[in-house]
Amino acid sequence: MPESMNFSFTQLHVELLIPMCISLLGGIILLGVGVFNKTKSRELYVSISILFVLLNLGFLLIEGNLTPQVGFFNLLLVDHISYFAQILILLCAFIILLFFMHNNTLPETQKAEFYALFLFAIAGFAFMVSSENLILMLLGLECASLSIYALIALHDDIHAFESSIKYFVMGSVASALLCFGALLLYAATGSIEMGHIGAFMQEHANSSWLAILGFIFLLCALGFKTSLVPFHTWTPDVYQGSNALIAGFIAIAPKIAALAVMIRIFEPFIQSHNTFVQCTLFALIVLSISIPNLIALVQKDVKRMLAYSSISHSGFVLSAILLGLPDMVFLYWFFFLFANLGAFGILWLCKKEGSNDISFDTLKSLITTNPTLAILLTFFMFALAGIPPFCVFWGKIYLIQNALGSHYIILALLMALNSIINAFYYLKVVIYIFNTQSARPIPHISLSLPSIFALAITAIVSIGAIFMVQNLLELLAKYGNSGF
C-alpha cells in the first residue's frame, strides 16, 4: 500500500473535538428535556446548562495540554490561543447562567431552546478559535452568530426584533466580507491556511496587492464582529434591545472569539512590516478608542453607554495585536470580563418588569434601597474606568507601557487621554447611585444564592486584581513565549 494511503484513526485526534461536543450535546439534551418536560422549569434548564459549561471548563483545565495539536486533516488547531479564548468564553457563560438563576419572569428565559441556543453559540465560538483554516473559522462564526440572533429575537418585544434584524443584517455583511477576503487570499497565496499565508507574506510583503486587498476585507469583517469604528453602528441598538445578560454576553464572547481570530490572521501581515497594514490598524485603533468615548458622554441609557464603552475597550485590545502582544489580549479581556459582567449583572437585577431600558434615573437612590448592589456597581464602574488598583487599570497600564516601549508615543498619549475621558461617564453612574432624590427608587432586591455567588466572583477579581496580575502575567509569558 502506498505511504500516502496509510491512515490511522488516531491521526484525527478526536479528543480535540470534546469541548465542542460537550456544548453541542448539552444543547441537544436541553431540547429533548424541553419536549418532554411540561412544567417549563427555568431552574432545571439553567442547571443543565451550568452542568455542561462546568464539564467543558473542567475538561479544558484538567487536560491543560497547551502543546499545539492539529487534527481532522489539519482543520483543527488547538493551541494557546484556542485554549485561553475558550476558557474566557466559558467563564463568561458560567457567570451569566448564575445570574439567570435569579428569580425572573422573562418569557424567553423559561424555555429550553433559549439555553440550547446559548450552548450552541459557545460551540460555534470554540470551532471559530480552534482553527487556522479560514473556512472553518467562518462556519464557527456562523453557528455562533445565528444562535445569538435567535437569542435576541426570542424576547417578544418590538425593540428586540429590531435589534435582532439589525444584528442579522450587519452580521451577514460581515460574513460576506469574510468570504470574499478568504477568496482573495486564496487567489493570492493558493491556500486558506494561515500558516501558508504567513509564509507567503514573509516573502511578498510589499508586492502582493491581492493579499493586501484580502486583508482589507477580513479587517472589515472582523471589525464588524468586534464593533470597531466605523463598523460599530449596530452595537448600541443591539445592546439596548437585548436583556442585560445577553448584552453582557455579546460584549464578551463574540469579541474574544473575533480577537483570537484576529491574532491568527493579522499576525503574518503585521510581522511582514507592511506600512499600509500598520497604518490601517493604527487608524482603526485611534478611531475606536476615541469616538465612542465622546458619544458615551451624552448617553441617557446605561446599556447604550456600556455599549459605546465596550467599543473603546475593543480598540485598546486591538492595540495589543498591533504591538505584537497576544498575551495582553487575554489579560485585558480577562479583567474586562469580570468587571463588565458584574455591571451588567447588577443592571439585570435592577431592571424594571417588562422593560429592557435602564436609564440613569433608574439608578437614583440605589444606595438607600440596595446598598450592597450600589457599592458593588460603584466598584465595577471604577474598574471599567481603569482607576487603580482595580482590574482594568492593569490591562491599560501595561498596554500604554508597551506602546511607549515600541515608540508608539502618540498612541500611548491617546490611550491615557481616553482613559481620563471614559472616567467621566463611568463616574456619572456613581453620581446617580448616590443621588437620594428619587420619587420612584428601585425597591429592595432579595438576592438568590447563585446571584450572590456570581457577584462575589466578579467582585473578587475586579477588586483583588492587584494580587493576581503578576501571576497571570507569568502564566501568559510562560506559555506565550512557546505558543503565541
Tell me whether residue 5 is in a domain: no
Tell me whether residue 64 is in a domain: yes
Average of pLDDT values for 176-201? 84
Q: Are 89 and 125 in contact (CB under 8 A)?
A: yes
DSSP bridge pairs for 69: 78
Q: What percent of the chain has pLDDT over 70?
A: 91
Q: Do the strands 76-78 and 69-71 form a parallel or antiparallel pair, or are they unpaired?
A: antiparallel
Residues 6+ apart with CB under 8 A from 302: 347, 358, 359, 360, 362, 363, 429
Question: Each residue of 341-367: b (16+ CB within 10 Å) or e?
Answer: bbbbbbbbbbbeeeebebbbebbbbbb
CA geometry: angle 419, 332, 163, nearest 5 deg: 80
Is a pLDDT exceeding 80 seen at residue 73? no
Least confident of 101-110, 341-350, 381-390, 443-452: 101-110
For 402-440, write each residue's pLDDT tens digit. 898 888 899 999 999 998 998 888 988 888 888 877 657
Average of pLDDT values for 281-304? 89
Phi, psi of 436 (to 5 degrees): -95, 5
* Separation CA 302–CA 432 (nearest Å): 11
* Separation CA 318–CA 84 (nearest Å): 17
- Closest-CA residue to 243 (of 109, 136, 367): 109
Q: Tally the domains of the chain.
A: 1
Quote the pLDDT of residue 205: 61
How many C-alpha atoms does 8 have within 13 Å on its Cβ side? 4
Give me the chain's average pLDDT, please.
Answer: 84
Tell me whether residue 2 is in a domain: no
Three-state secondary-structure class, residue 292: helix
CA geometry: angle 296, 297, 299, nearest 5 deg: 65
Tell me whether residue 135 is in a domain: yes
Quote the pLDDT of residue 211: 83
Claim: this prediction has a pTM higher than 0.75: yes
* Separation CA 140–CA 446 (nearest Å): 39
- Closest-CA residue to 76 (of 18, 142, 7, 6): 18
- The CA-to-CA distance between both ends of the chain, in Å, stands at 39
Tell me whether residue 294 is in a domain: yes
Tell me whether residue 1 is in a domain: no
For 299-332, write each residue's pLDDT tens digit. 888 888 888 888 999 999 999 888 888 888 888 8
Quote the pLDDT of residue 89: 93
Cis peptide before 230 (omega within 30 of 0): yes
DSSP bridge pairs for 359: 301
* Separation CA 258–CA 314 (nearest Å): 10
* Cell numbers that stand for 49 in this block: 446548562
Q: Which residue has the cell 484513526?
A: 9
Least confident of 33-42, 169-178, 217-226, 275-284: 33-42
Is a pLDDT exceeding 60 seen at residue 381? yes
Cis peptide before 371 (omega within 30 of 0): no
Average of pLDDT values for 247-267? 88
Tell me whether residue 4 is in a domain: no
Average of pLDDT values for 201-206? 70
Range of the domain at 294: 10-481
Which amino acid appears at position 225 of this protein?
K
Helix H or strand E encompassing 409: helix 409-433
Tell me whether residue 149 is in a domain: yes
DSSP state of 9: G
- Closest-CA residue to 294 (of 281, 280, 311, 279): 311
pLDDT band at 92 (very low <50, low <70, confident <90, very high): very high
* Cell numbers that stand for 341 in this block: 459582567
